[in-house]
């Protein structure tokens, strides 16, 4: 059964989609069969993967109960579009509305090692569905516009999901993202995160670089776009595999880091 990780943040523009895309690539390159799910109606992740805009079915149809998740997999991605916002509204009035994604992913999880879910920037029903379907959550915090209140809200939602719906859920880690570590602001944010989350904060910080928006525009991962710039995400992949204790993949990820550094 696939280990499932929800990627969330307290708001938009914190590098969540870039994190999901890049991590999917790092994990795949470490030999893990990785399914990525776009749970944001904006569909940025689907675009980043180069999924055609008219791909059908998508996560919206799956959550509406019209199609199976297996049928919605396009090259290891379950894409999303604005129809997902409509599906979320429909879902709100249904019994078991928080469990829909968990149930839908049962079959796909048998065919993959890892599932990553890119959550929308709000802590609503789609994010709750993602958390209930997951074993782990990763919190992405942007260095420049970090808000403690936002981070608290996000951890509160994780706590609520665990207490009420998914006792197996745990916080895998907190990432400082889009950071310029030469600024005092970024240093301060890292300090605040370490005070609040201790060891859960990843050692790896994802540095700010223009190559990320460029690679998103080109629709290819950072590993292909600028191999040497992928070092941060390669190191993050190592840290995540350490925390997940996935030894064979970890050895491959470490080799990947050495290869990029050489
Ligand atoms: N490390 C980074 N450095 C610079 N820009 C980044 C970085 N990561 C992401 N971005 C850019 O920041 C913007 C928001 O990132 P995105 O991943 O879409 O965030 P979210 O999914 O949280 O809204 C995008 O334009 C993206 O290309
Ligand atoms: Mg996004």
- Find out whether the beta carbon of 216 lies less than 6 Å from any atom of ligand 1: yes
pLDDT, mean over the chain: 96
Q: What confidence score (pLDDT) does residue 149 get?
A: 86
Q: What confidence score (pLDDT) does residue 145 get?
A: 86
Q: Which of 100, 102, 45 is nearest to 78 (CA)?
A: 45
Question: Which residues are CB-neighbours of 125 under 8 A, at least 6 positions away?
Answer: 88, 91, 92, 97, 98
Of ligand 1's atoms, which has the minimum distance to the CA of residue 140? Answer: 22
pLDDT class of 262 with cuts at 50, 70, 90: very high
Query: Is the Cβ–Cβ distance between 221 and 34 less than 8 Å?
Result: no
Average pLDDT of 243-254?
A: 97
Of ligand 1's atoms, which has the minimum distance to the CA of residue 21? Answer: 17
pLDDT class of 139 with cuts at 50, 70, 90: very high
Closest ligand (CA of 39): 2
13 cis-preceded (ω within 30 degrees of 0) = no
198-244 tens-digit pLDDT? 999 999 999 999 999 999 999 999 999 999 999 999 999 999 999 99
39-67 tens-digit pLDDT? 999 999 999 999 999 999 999 999 999 99
Q: Whose CA is nearest to atom 7 of ligand 1?
A: 178
Q: What is the CATH number of domain 3-261?
A: 3.40.50.300
Please give the distance, rounded to the nearest whole angstrom, from the Cα atom of residue 138 to the centre of ligand 2.
Answer: 14
Angle, alpha carbons 236-128-45 (nearest 5°)? 50
Q: What confidence score (pLDDT) does residue 150 get?
A: 86
- Find out whether the beta carbon of 206 lies less than 6 Å from any atom of ligand 1: yes
Query: What is the distance between the alpha carbons of residues 155 and 153, in angstroms, rounded to a whole number?
Result: 6
Give the number of other Cβ atoms within 10 Å of residue 147's Cβ.
Answer: 13
Q: Whose CA is nearest to atom 11 of ligand 1?
A: 213
On the question of pLDDT at 147 being above 90, the answer is no
Please give the distance, rounded to the nearest whole angstrom, from the Cα atom of residue 213 to the centre of ligand 1.
Answer: 6
Among residues of the chain, what percentage have pLDDT more than 70? 100
The answer to pTM > 0.95 is yes
Tokens for 145? 């516009």
Average pLDDT of 112-138?
A: 97
Start-to-end Cα distance in the chain: 35
Give the number of other Cβ atoms within 10 Å of residue 50's Cβ.
Answer: 13
On the question of pLDDT at 12 being above 90, the answer is no
């Amino acid at each position: 059964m696939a280990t499932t990780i929800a990627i969330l943040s307290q708001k938009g523009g914190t590098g969540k989609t870039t994190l999901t895309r890049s991590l999917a690539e790092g994990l795949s390159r470490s030999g893990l069969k990785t399914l990525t799910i776009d749970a944001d109606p904006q569909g940025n992740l689907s675009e980043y993967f180069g999924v055609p805009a008219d791909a059908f079915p998508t996560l919206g149809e799956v959550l509406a109960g019209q199609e199976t998740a297996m049928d919605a997999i396009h090259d290891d991605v379950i894409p999303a579009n604005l129809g997902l916002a409509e599906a979320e509204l429909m879902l709100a009035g249904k019994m078991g509305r928080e469990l829909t994604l968990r149930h839908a992913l049962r079959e796909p999880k048998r065919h993959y090692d890892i599932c990553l879910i890119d959550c929308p920037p709000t802590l609503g029903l789609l994010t709750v569905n993602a958390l209930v379907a997951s074993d782990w959550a990763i919190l992405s915090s942007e260095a420049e516009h970090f808000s403690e209140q936002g981070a608290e809200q996000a951890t509160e939602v994780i706590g609520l999901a665990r207490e009420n719906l998914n006792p197996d859920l745990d916080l895998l880690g907190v990432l400082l993202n889009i950071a310029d570590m030469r600024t005092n602001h970024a240093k301060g944010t890292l300090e605040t995160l370490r005070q609040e989350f201790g060891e859960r904060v990843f050692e790896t910080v994802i540095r700010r670089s223009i190559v990320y928006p460029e690679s998103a525009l080109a629709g290819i991962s950072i590993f292909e776009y600028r191999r040497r710039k992928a070092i941060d995400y390669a190191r993050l992949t190592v840290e995540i595999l350490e925390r997940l204790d996935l030894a064979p993949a970890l050895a491959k990820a470490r080799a990947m880091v050495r290869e990029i550094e050489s």
